[in-house]
Structure 1
Amino acid sequence: MNGRKTPIKFAINRTDAISWSISAALILLLNTNLKTGEVNWTWTLLIFASALTISRIQEYLMPLLMRRAANWPVQRMLGAYVLVCVLVATIISTLVLIIIQLVKKEVFPARVYVSSGLTYVLMTIAFTSVYVIQQLTDRWKKSLLQQEQLNQALLRAEYDALKNQVNPHFLFNSLNILSALIPEDPENAVNLVERLSKVFRYNLQNNDRVTVELGTELKIVEAYLFIHKMRFGENLQYDLSVDKTDKTRSIVTQGLLTLVENALKHNECSSEKPLTISLFVDGDRVVVRNTFQPKNKQFLESTGIGLSNLKSRYKLVTTAPVEVKETADFFEVSIPFCSASGNS
């Protein structure tokens, strides 16, 4: 590589051929006496030669201008383009008229220069408009791509911030469970620690993933519920009914874990009020339903971080909402399946 830049040139394509054919036909028509059929070949040849000259000049100037204007605002770039067209057209038009005056030995009035200049300006813009429009379109597409990349980066940063908010919340709740179990059942406390390590290993391994397969998270939910089963015994019942085909579909990472955690944290689980948690698939949604027996009247407010955080994360991944239903008997949250393309 010698480091030299390859000059940008106009491509000779079908559009150029059509433009030149139409231009030649118009030039010939404008210089033909329709009554006699006589063609003013002097004017025709001069105009056609000047059009060719303008085309060659613009072939050099336009790519140069576009390179210089790469970081300019569109308005400034268009202004510079029009200015170049006017200057080139005016110079060529003036030279053509001077040549004709010398050949015919006559003087043209100012209005001829003005009308000729305007004609040449329009002709110059016509020769280069397709190229400039293509450049503007490419620039617009590039701008859209950059904006999309920026939006994706911002969404990813926001998602990570929300997910990082969940992890300390989950750790705090898990340590509370462990502290309550140690004095009651030290042996099972060891089993609980092993299960917790599995859950946290899952969190670490999937920390950079926006979505995860349902089957993968379901295993962690089972481990998490088993941990609480050791503490609550028969006071906690759960049923996880998911078909094998649904396990390969994707959900937001830690989505189910958040819902199951909320159900256990905010509802009473005792011999007087056993807690039942059901997890199942309903169409394009995964549903977590639990018996509604809140520990206090501030239940809905106390679900703060978990449920609102989950809703916020889903908004960044899909337009399908997280749905919440509450009756006198049960509290239910359903989350939509989402595209696996959310993984990063």
Structure 2
Amino acid sequence: MKIAIDAMGGDYAPTEIVKGVELARDKYSEIEFQLYGPLDQIKPLVKNNERIDIINADEVIGMGEEPVRAVMRKKNSSIDLAAKAVKDHQADAFLSAGNTGAILTAGLFIVGRIKGIDRPGLTTTMPVVTRGDQSKFVMLDVGANADSKAFNLYQYAFMGKYYAEQVLKIKNPRIGLLNNGTEPDKGDMLHKHVHKLLSQNDDLNFIGNVESRELLNGAADVVVSDGFTGNAALKGIEGAALSVMNVIKDTIMSGGLRSKLGALMLKKSFKQIGNKMDYSKYGGAVLMGVKAPVVKTHGSSKATTVRNTIGQIKTMVDSKTVNQIVNYFDVHADEMKEIKKNSK
């Protein structure tokens, strides 16, 4: 297995990217790594080059650059070259912590869209806080497409289903549609239409609408959304979690000796809460609907997160998640065309 990695993406690149790759190399003996970036910056950071190839990329796409223009103009960038390695079958997957828009653009235009899928969606994994440490759910789209059609969300349900089955190992995952109420007639025309489409397919374990306040309580195993709503919900969850932790910390620090002693006694419990909410355990966001795994890990990722994301990619490649999606859309091509035609 070979993974092409943009070594220059993220707030702590290339140092933490290289450290994470070396951690993953030591953990996964069957993976070879391709690091793309300026040789003079990357080579001194690699302590042991066993199963690590460094490929020179003399251009870097910055976090603030316009994505499409940057990908099209900077052909020798670390993002472009890593994505091209996947396109040319020199690597099995592409990983970056860099410019999200550029990664999505490279995934769509260089790696390529799966035949029959209109718009790939960005998928993220989140924890279920009311169950064990291993319980989680997947949500898509969380930002690849601000404007979506009913047919796009219909297809996201199938992509999420296969990801949940193959990567999260959830049998017959419950599919929920993110909406502003649980009743079937809730939402705008788009969501009412999607609800009807999902309800009519027996290949999906569709449970109906789910509300954002219930997501972390395990309302569904796969949460389907348009990119605008999904991204807003995701950022709302992240912001609320950070705010709650800050309130607890401020209350303890301003509460005097008794509060601080109480916090000391609850230190283990606070650590368990932090561990459950730690996004680094779940890897990166996956662009579902392209011909190979394209994974965007968090821009602030450090070595441990990079290693965990590589583990996530390994599971995707081993389980042939992309192949499962390709096969389903190939077998049901005529059905998909008919649904798309009737959804306009």
Task: Answer whether TM exceeds 0.5 for this pair.
Answer: no
Structure having the higher strand fraction is 2
TM-score by length of 1: 0.21
TM-score by length of 2: 0.21
Structure having the higher helix fraction is 1
Could you say which structure has the greater relative contact order, defined with CA pairs below 8 angstroms and 6 or more residues apart?
2
Query: Highest Rg: 1 or 2?
Result: 1
